[in-house]
């Protein structure tokens, strides 16, 4: 048995691994210990009591304890790590007080690998691993104990090598000696000898953690008990001034065209920080930087790797020839996009407040930097002294029922007037027609109003709402229930019903199913509705204002097969699976095609390709919108994220659904298990096209992997996660950023990274399933803050952190900060938090979060998720509305702020990242939208001065959009005829005189060609006018 004494910890520098695994009872000690100094040791309490419980081993959702029972002949105290029926990898971690370094480092221990539960006939089995990690978080060496297989070992991410050890239920003496002199690993296992090179193994030359890791493979939860005893960590010290490691350098960002082919123009660092053997740091000069792999090209956007040779120095020794590594991201400059954008009207609302009537209206994106102001008229009398630049006004003399008009003034001329009557309540009400419940083989069910989305379904510039009705017996994918069918309704904001869709019995109801997309996919000004369908999905119309099941508009597939393709547990097991796109206004089926990724990859496999055969991992869906072609949005649909992960992009071209591309981890060979319960989309790399951020996996706009959080290139390892936030979080770091939480307890629980490269900027390890996380701007400091359900301390993710590195609060729990949605509600440029049916504001002075708004007689959705039906800027100024159903499901209430603001900003819906966020907000685990530009109180002066920069928008064609653009562009008197022609066409169209309207547009085009407007403006107006005329035919 190994000697017992408590060890103290230092840093490592050099490393060889000699591993001796032999039967505990018959193999003598191989290595002499004469030159080693003991740093840490334990016998788990045999010789003296432990100072730390379990010698400091920690775990989450598993158990560590000291066991004194007789285990295969060992009846002394030993560490017991037990995993019982767990659905994810569970970890026991010993984090040494200080990383150990030296010329050689030796780890000795006794290990009883233990039996893992059997998965029967499956080709893969559950397993457990013993791992050694360095201070940088790299897994340097692993011994794998997979059920029904010999023990294997590997360094870094190398391919495993088998041993001849096949009995996990006995003790083995393990000795691992790390040495970098020959940069190799000599393994001695019984009578076997192996030499493994350390080339290309990421290793900083230290031993920092010892881990036991459960490995649950597909189709089964994991049960495993393993034991450790007699651990000793020792080393041969080295001189104090020897460089043990070079610190990780942050990515260097430059922009395409700003440098030359001479790498000196990049501005690589002249010195780098290093760590010495005595645990001090020093700055060491870099003699030269050299390209590694891809040659530097200043005109090509890419991530380039450079290695720095350290210069000789009298103060420090570089005996082990350490080098510096830096990644250079040659980034494209922000593109001048011109994306199809919804044309929207003023969206005027007038709501009562404690101080009068609050009137609010919309500023469009192309009006922001123009001479556009407003007058407010109450009951025929103008009530503002000077034209308003902001888009809100509190009328202290207003009363319920007063008639308000908003005059829009462009270059001094009134161009339009919009009217609204003030309401007697502080919300808009949409009456709902609650569906009747029913009965399945599982029992009775009723309906409740659930998630919603918006789109301009009829092209009038005002949003309509599509609402999901959820049956009371809806299930998670792990359950077995014959659910009632999910139902979707489309309503105008005044409550006018448009159509109802019954998804049918061939589609399971629940949060993981029925992901839906609302958006204008063909650029015609009307939003479509896309969803996965099945035989008997049916759309009904309306008779006398009531949904009418006898008025069938569309039927998908064979209605006689309703319920044919589900099993007794309610899961889809076979049969046709479709994706359909419907006309948003009428509910008519535009096109239906086979869904790209059916449940069975091979006939009869029972969904096993997704990771199990009980339809849990196959029944996981995601959806969203993305401008993958840079111009019009495509629908993104995903299936699977726990293991096999797939996505497909659908565009609508000439009335037909087209697969733009498909992605499948089975084909890509990597990326599985990195998807979230949610996704986000946005142009992370400035190429003008949107990427798909699926959690720890980011796909490029063409469906290839842009990067995966794989532990390489300064990206900490990721896993499946429950929360995801993507937006412009740092004013000093151009572009989009990603914050998320992770479910796997062996990876970072909270992680924040660069959206384009995946470079981890901050990460916190709590060794648990962190199920909630938020990114929001809640302080006056530059940059957003983030927090989540990590550990209990600020070191392991329990605090509130600023993206630029500051700790705002030691404990987010003590501040009472919610961990759910974030929103813009009050008058400043910071976020508020929406949770359940209340809004909370963080008070920077007191460090507390306080409720500032409570919504009564309404409920939130999805149980503990407690999200609204929808949060979006659909009315009034740039602040967001909150849409919630009443307790009885009889109405949807749209709540809008009545707090004045001094800030003039365009509608958030004209920001591409935000608009796409509204489309993906309700996928599976609902998440709030973010914007593509930075807002915060630290840029208050810039916002007040109107100095923000917004991309160009290209409105979906309509006469109203044409008229709006002409109002902004036409200044010369002789061009006023253009406006007159459009107005005349509008008048004829109201009278259904399309032929006469077409004649006016033809005349408009003749005058436009002779006008003095800029050529690019002419080209845009010509295209729009011709598209409008085509739609009439």
Distance of alpha carbon 616 from alpha carbon 480, whole angstroms: 10
For the chain, give the number of residues.
1033
Residue 744: what pLDDT?
87
Q: How far apart are CA 151 and CA 148, in angstroms?
A: 10
State which of 331, 362, 379 marks the end of a domain: 331
Pair 435, 510 in one domain: yes
Answer yes or no: are the C-beta atoms of 23 and 147 closer than 8 Å: no
224 and 248: one domain? no
Share of the chain above pLDDT 90, in %: 85
Average pLDDT over residues 445-465: 98
Residue 123: the pLDDT is: 57
Residue 729 pLDDT > 60? yes
Look at 122 and 938; give whichever has higher pLDDT: 938
Q: Which of 362, 347, 353, 352 is nearest to 402 (CA)?
A: 352
pLDDT level of residue 197 (50, 70, 90 thresholds): confident
CATH number of the CATH domain containing 362: 2.60.40.10
d(CA 719, CA 696): 6
How many Cβ atoms are within 10 Å of 978's Cβ, its own excluded?
23
State how far the alpha carbon of 236 is from the alpha carbons of 12, 42, 210, 654, in Å: 10, 19, 19, 73
Q: What is the pLDDT of residue 15?
A: 32
What are the DSSP E strand ranges found in 909-1014?
Answer: 952-955
User: What pLDDT is stored for residue 122 in this prediction?
Assistant: 53
- Per the DSSP assignment, residues forming a β-bridge with 653 are 656
Read off the pTM. 0.91
* 597 lies in some domain: yes
Average pLDDT over residues 698-718: 97
Residue 554 has pLDDT above 90, yes or no: yes
Same domain, 103 and 182: yes
Distances (CA, A) of 536 to 186, 485, 598: 64, 11, 17
User: What local confidence, expressed as pLDDT, does residue 978 receive?
Assistant: 94
Assess if residue 500 is contained within a domain: yes
Residue 488 DSSP SS3 = strand
Query: Phi/psi at 812 (nearest 5 deg)?
Result: -70, -25
The mean pLDDT of 187-211, rounded to a whole number, is 82
For residue 542, tell me if it sits in a domain: yes
Give me the torsion for CA of 919, 924, 930, 932, rounded to 10°: -60
pLDDT of 853 strictly over 70: yes
Let me know whether 201 and 112 are in one domain. yes
Average pLDDT along the chain: 93
Provide the 8-state DSSP code for 263.
Answer: G
What's the pLDDT at 613?
A: 87
Clarify whether residues 653 and 724 are in a common domain.
yes
β-strand pairing of 222-236 with 104-112: antiparallel
Please report the pLDDT score of residue 4 as a whole number: 32
Is the confidence at residue 8, as pLDDT, over 60?
no
Is the distance from CB of 452 to CB of 465 less than 8 angstroms? yes
Query: Does residue 121 or residue 530 have the better pLDDT?
Result: 530
SS3 (DSSP) at 1003: helix
- The answer to whether 110 touches 171, Cβ cutoff 8 Å, is yes
Rounded to whole angstroms, the Cα distance separating 604 from 198 reads: 44
Does residue 436 share a domain with residue 411?
A: no
pLDDT higher than threshold 80 for residue 5: no
For the stretch 58-69, pLDDT in tens is 987 789 999 999
For residue 901, the 8-state DSSP code is: -
Q: Could you tell me if residue 950 is inside a domain? A: no
Which region among 471-475, 671-675, 1009-1013 has the lowest average model confidence (pLDDT)?
A: 1009-1013
919-to-635, 741, 836, 913 alpha-carbon distances in Å: 9, 22, 21, 10
Q: Could you read off the pLDDT of 692-704 as tens digits, one per residue?
A: 999 999 999 999 9
- Asked if residue 467 and residue 406 are part of one domain, the reply reads no
Domain limit, last residue, from 331, 347, 379: 331
Distance CA 714, CA 115 (A): 35
Same domain, yes or no: 213 and 286: no
Q: Does a structural domain hold residue 6? A: no
Band of pLDDT at residue 906, cut at 50, 70 and 90: very high
Q: Are residues 400 and 445 in the same domain?
A: no
What total of structural domains would you count in the chain? 5
The fraction of the chain above a pLDDT of 70, given in percent, is: 95
Q: Are residue 387 and residue 432 in the same domain, yes or no? A: no
Q: How far apart are CA 301 and CA 885, in angstroms?
A: 48
Residue 420 domain-assigned (yes or no)? yes
1017 SS3 class: helix
Q: How confident is the model at residue 137 (pLDDT cuts 50, 70, 90)?
A: confident
How large is the average pLDDT for residues 846-860?
98
Structural domain including 308 reads 243-331
Sign for the CA dihedral angle at 568, 620, 821, 812 comes to positive
Q: Both 46 and 187 in a single domain?
A: yes
381 and 305 together in one domain = no
Domain-embedded: residue 8: no
pLDDT at position 120, please?
59
Instruction: Indicate if the pLDDT at residue 591 is higher than 80.
Output: yes
Of 236, 256, 279, the one marking the end of a domain is 236
Residue 13 has pLDDT above 60, yes or no: no
CATH number at residue 759: 2.140.10
CA distances from 933 to 329, 344, 403, 550, 951 (A): 21, 21, 36, 48, 10
* Residue 944 within a domain: no
With a cut of 60, say whether residue 20 has pLDDT above it. Answer: no
């Amino acid at each position: 048995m190994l000697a017992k004494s408590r060890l103290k910890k230092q840093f490592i520098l050099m490393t060889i691994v000699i591993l001796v695994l032999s039967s505990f009872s018959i193999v003598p000690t191989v290595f002499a210990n004469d030159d080693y100094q003991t740093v840490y040791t334990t016998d788990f309490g045999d010789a003296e009591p432990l100072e730390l419980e379990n010698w400091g081993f920690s775990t989450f959702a598993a158990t560590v304890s000291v066991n004194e029972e007789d285990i295969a002949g060992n009846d002394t105290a030993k560490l017991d790590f037990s995993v019982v029926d767990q659905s994810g990898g569970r970890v026991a971690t010993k984090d040494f007080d200080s990383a150990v370094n030296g010329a050689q480092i030796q780890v000795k221990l006794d290990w009883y690998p233990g039996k893992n539960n059997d998965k029967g006939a499956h080709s893969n089995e559950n397993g457990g691993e013993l791992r050694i990690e360095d201070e940088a978080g790299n897994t340097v060496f692993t011994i794998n104990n997979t059920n029904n297989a010999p023990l294997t070992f590997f360094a870094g991410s190398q391919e495993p090598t088998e041993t001849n050890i096949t009995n996990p239920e006995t003790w083995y003496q393990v000795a691992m000696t790390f040495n970098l002199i020959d940069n190799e690993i000599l393994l001695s296992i019984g009578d076997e000898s192996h030499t493994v090179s350390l080339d290309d193994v990421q290793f900083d030359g230290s031993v920092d953690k010892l881990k036991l890791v459960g490995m649950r493979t597909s189709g089964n939860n994991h049960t495993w008990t393993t034991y450790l005893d007699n651990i000793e960590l020792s080393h041969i010290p080295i001189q104090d001034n020897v460089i043990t490691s070079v610190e990780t350098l942050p990515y260097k960002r430059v922009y395409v065209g700003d440098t030359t082919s001479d790498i000196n123009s990049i501005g690589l660092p002249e010195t780098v920080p290093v760590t010495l053997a005595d645990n001090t740091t020093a700055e060491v000069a870099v003699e030269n930087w050299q390209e590694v792999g891809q040659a530097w090209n200043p005109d090509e956007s890419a991530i380039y790797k450079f290695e720095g040779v350290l210069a000789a120095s009298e103060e420090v020794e570089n005996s082990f020839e350490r080098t510096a590594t830096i990644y250079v991201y040659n980034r494209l400059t922000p593109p001048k996009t011109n994306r199809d954008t919804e044309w929207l009207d003023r969206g005027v609302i007038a709501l009562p407040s404690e101080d009068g009537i609050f009137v609010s209206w919309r500023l469009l994106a192309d009006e922001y930097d123009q001479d556009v102001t407003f007058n407010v008229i109450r009951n025929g009398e103008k009530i503002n002294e000077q034209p308003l630049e902001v888009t809100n006004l509190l009328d202290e003399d207003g009363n319920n029922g007063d008639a308000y008009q908003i005059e829009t003034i462009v270059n001094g001329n009134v161009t339009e007037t919009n009217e609204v009557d003030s309401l007697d309540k502080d919300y808009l009400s949409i009456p709902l027609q609650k569906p009747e419940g029913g009965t399945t083989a599982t029992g009775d069910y009723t309906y409740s109003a659930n998630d919603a989305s918006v789109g301009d379904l009829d092209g009038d510039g005002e949003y309509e709402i599509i609402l999901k009705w959820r049956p009371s017996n809806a299930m998670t994918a792990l359950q077995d229930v014959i659910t009632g069918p999910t139902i979707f309704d489309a309503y105008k904001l005044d409550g006018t019903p448009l159509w109802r869709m019954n998804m049918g019995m061939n589609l399971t109801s629940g949060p993981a199913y029925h992901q839906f997309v609302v958006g204008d996919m063909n650029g015609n000004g009307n939003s479509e509705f896309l969803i996965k369908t099945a035989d008997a999905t049916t759309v009904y119309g309306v008779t006398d204002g009531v949904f009418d099941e006898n008025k069938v508009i569309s039927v998908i597939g064979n209605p006689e097969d309703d319920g044919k393709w589900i099993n007794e547990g309610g899961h889809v097991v076979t049969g046709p699976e479709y994706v359909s796109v419907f006309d948003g206004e009428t509910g008519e089926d535009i096109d239906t095609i086979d869904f790209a990724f059916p449940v069975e990859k091979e006939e009869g496999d029972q969904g096993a390709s997704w990771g199990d055969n009980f339809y849990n991992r196959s029944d996981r869906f995601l959806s969203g919108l993305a401008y993958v072609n840079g111009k019009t949005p495509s629908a993104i649909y995903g299936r699977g994220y726990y293991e096999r992960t797939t996505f497909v992009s659908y565009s609508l071209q000439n009335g037909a659904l087209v697969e733009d591309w498909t992605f499948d981890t089975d084909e890509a060979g990597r990326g599985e298990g990195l998807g979230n319960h949610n996704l986000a989309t946005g142009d992370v790399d400035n190429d003008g096209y949107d990427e798909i951020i699926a959690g720890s996996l980011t796909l490029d706009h063409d469906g290839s992997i842009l990067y995966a959080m794989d532990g390489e290139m300064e990206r900490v390892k990721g896993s499946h996660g429950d929360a995801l936030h993507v937006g412009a979080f740092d004013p000093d770091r151009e572009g989009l950023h990603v914050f998320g939480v992770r479910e796997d307890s062996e990876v970072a629980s909270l992680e924040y990274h660069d959206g384009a490269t995946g470079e981890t900027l901050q990460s916190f390890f709590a060794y648990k399933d962190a199920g909630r996380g938020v990114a929001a701007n809640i302080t006056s400091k530059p940059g957003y803050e983030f927090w989540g359900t990590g550990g209990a301390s600020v070191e392991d993710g329990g605090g509130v952190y600023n993206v630029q590195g500051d700790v705002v609060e030691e404990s987010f729990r003590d501040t009472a900060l919610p961990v759910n949605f974030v929103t813009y509600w009050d008058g400043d440029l910071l976020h508020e938090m929406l949770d359940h049916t209340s809004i909370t504001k963080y008070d920077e002075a007191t460090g507390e979060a306080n409720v500032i708004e409570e919504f009564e007689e309404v409920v939130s959705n999805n149980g503990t998720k407690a999200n609204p039906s929808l949060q979006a800027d659909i009315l009034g100024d740039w602040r967001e509305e909150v849409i919630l159903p009443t307790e009885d499901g009889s109405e949807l209430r749209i709540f809008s702020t009545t707090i004045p603001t001094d800030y003039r900003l365009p509608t958030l819906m004209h920001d591409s990242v935000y608009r796409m966020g509204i489309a993906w907000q309700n996928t599976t685990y609902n998440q709030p939208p973010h914007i593509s530009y930075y807002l915060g109180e630290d840029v208050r002066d810039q916002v007040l001065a109107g100095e923000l920069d917004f991309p160009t928008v290209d409105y979906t064609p309509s006469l109203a959009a044409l008229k709006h653009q002409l109002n902004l562009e036409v200044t010369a008197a002789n061009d006023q005829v253009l406006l007159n022609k459009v107005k005349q066409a509008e008048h004829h169209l109201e009278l259904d005189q399309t032929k006469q309207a077409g004649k006016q547009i033809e005349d408009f085009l003749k005058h436009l060609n002779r006008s003095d407007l800029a050529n690019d403006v002419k080209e845009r107006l010509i295209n729009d006018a011709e598209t409008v005329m085509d739609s009439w035919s």
